[in-house]
């Protein structure tokens, strides 16, 4: 009964979000992914787990980013639990990677919006080219916690590249970590969510983004609250493995 109720709530949230959170230009095309495909994948995952006692996910190691640890393996679901992978799935040439969150308590299907992948790949290529000649990446400002703002002029950009938020349509900046990773800064979105949600200083704020949304924050690091109640990027924050 609990699972049936959760599925109904899930579908209800998805219907609302299809009209509110995604950029207007892609709203209609995305509704299929939200309404039909997310629900059908959730049903297939539930059935697979009921039959086998495990989840249909790809293998990962301890270095895999939090929200890419539980990528759904459609090879385990097709054809017994669903006819084919969704047309919007990465495996089918689409722009969504289907993943699971809350795997210990109630595995829930979410998606990674891969629209920023090409921008990140281009940014990494330019950084690697620059480092091949100058050793270090071109850093314009240091934010602390091992994160930096890049000097995009030195990377031959006319203007700073941005990621489009799947939650709000906001333009989000990229940051660079001391481990050489490109990070999307979701602080603007988290600030908006915090206006209607409560959070404690000792928890990662990212789950607030996808609590009522179908997306998980791609290329992100943990955020925690400062004493002033502001979200702060905190890559060293201990992440819980089942998020």
| The predicted structure's pLDDT at residue 229 | 83
Answer whether residue 96 shows pLDDT above 70.
yes
Tokens of 59: 């293998």
| The predicted structure's pLDDT at residue 99 | 97
pLDDT digits (tens, 9 = 90+) for 131-160: 999 999 999 999 988 999 999 999 999 999
pLDDT band at 240 (very low <50, low <70, confident <90, very high): very low
Q: Rounded mean pLDDT of the chain?
A: 85
- Mean pLDDT score, 97-120: 95
| The predicted structure's pLDDT at residue 238 | 54
pLDDT digits (tens, 9 = 90+) for 56-91: 999 999 889 999 999 999 999 999 999 999 999 999
Per the listing, tokens 């393996």 go with 73
pLDDT digits (tens, 9 = 90+) for 165-174: 999 999 999 9
DSSP state of 35: I
Answer whether residue 53 shows pLDDT above 60.
yes
Task: Evaluate the omega torsion of the peptide bond into residue 74 and state whether it is cis, within 30 degrees of 0.
Answer: no
| The predicted structure's pLDDT at residue 195 | 86
Of 185, 187, 132, which is closest to residue 160 (Cα–Cα)? 185
Among the ranges given (11-25, 29-43, 69-83), the one the predictor scored with the smallest mean pLDDT: 11-25
Q: Which helix (H) or strand (E) holds 225?
A: strand 223-225
Tokens of 9: 């709530």
- If one compares 111 and 18, the residue with the highest pLDDT of the two is 111
Domain boundaries, the chain: 2-111, 116-233
Integer angstrom CA distances of residue 213 from 14, 105, 220 = 7, 18, 16
pLDDT band at 206 (very low <50, low <70, confident <90, very high): very high
């Amino acid at each position: 009964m609990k699972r049936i109720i959760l599925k109904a709530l899930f579908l209800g949230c998805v219907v609302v979000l299809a009209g509110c959170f995604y950029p207007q230009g892609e709203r209609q095309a995305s509704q299929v992914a939200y309404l039909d495909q997310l629900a059908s994948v959730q049903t297939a995952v539930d059935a697979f787990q009921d039959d086998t006692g495990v989840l249909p996910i790809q293998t990962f190691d301890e270095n895999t980013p939090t929200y890419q640890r539980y990528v759904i393996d459609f090879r385990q679901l097709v054809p017994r639990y669903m006819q084919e992978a969704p047309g919007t799935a990465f495996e089918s040439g689409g722009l969504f990677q289907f993943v699971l969150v809350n795997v210990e308590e109630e595995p829930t299907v979410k998606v990674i919006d891969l629209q920023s992948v090409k921008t990140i790949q281009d940014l990494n290529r330019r950084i690697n080219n620059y480092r091949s000649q100058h050793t270090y990446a071109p850093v314009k400002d240091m934010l602390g916690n091992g994160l930096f703002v890049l000097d995009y002029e030195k990377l031959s950009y006319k203007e700073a590249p941005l990621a489009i938020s799947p939650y709000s349509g906001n333009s989000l900046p990229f940051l660079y970590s001391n481990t050489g990773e490109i990070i999307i800064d979701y602080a603007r979105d988290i600030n908006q969510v915090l206006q209607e949600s409560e959070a404690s200083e000792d928890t990662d704020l990212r789950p607030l983004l996808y609590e009522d949304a179908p997306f998980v924050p791609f290329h992100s690091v943990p955020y925690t609250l400062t004493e002033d109640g502001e979200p702060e990027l905190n890559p060293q924050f201990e992440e819980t493995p089942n998020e």
